[in-house]
Amino acid sequence: MGRNDRGFQADSSPDGPFRQAGWDQVPWADGAWPLTDQVISIRLAQADWTFAADEARESIEIYEELGDEVSAQLGRDVLAVIERTGH
């Protein structure tokens, strides 16, 4: 499998197009992922927003089972934003 234009391994998994859409729109800083507190806006197809919401819901439960409350809260925050914006 090749690499995309950001140097990441090309991804043929179900979330590959979703990930690629994000990578293509992220305001990279010297080739690095943005800072954690940086606010970014990404445009996705409705199906991709649905996928993101579903993945957030599933990951929240996993993080709670692992006792990782920080990651679980991040998932809840992401899900709230997706739902609040009508996606």
Give the domain range for residue 50. 44-84
Residues 14-31 have a mean pLDDT of 73
What does each C-alpha distance from 15 to 29, 38, 64 come to in angstroms? 24, 23, 23
* 23 and 49 both lie in a single domain: no
Q: Which one has a higher pLDDT value, 7 or 4?
A: 7
Within a domain: residue 39?
no
Task: Provide φ and ψ at 3, rounded to 5°.
Answer: -115, 150
Is the predicted pLDDT of residue 11 greater than 60, yes or no? no
Phi-psi region of 72 (alpha: psi -120 to 50; beta: other; left: phi over 0): alpha
**pTM of the predicted protein model:** 0.61
Per the structure, the count of domains in the chain is: 2
* 27 and 51 both lie in a single domain: no
* 48 and 80 both lie in a single domain: yes
User: 10 Å Cβ neighbour count for 31?
Assistant: 7
Within a domain: residue 38?
no
* 21 and 48 both lie in a single domain: no
* 80 and 52 both lie in a single domain: yes
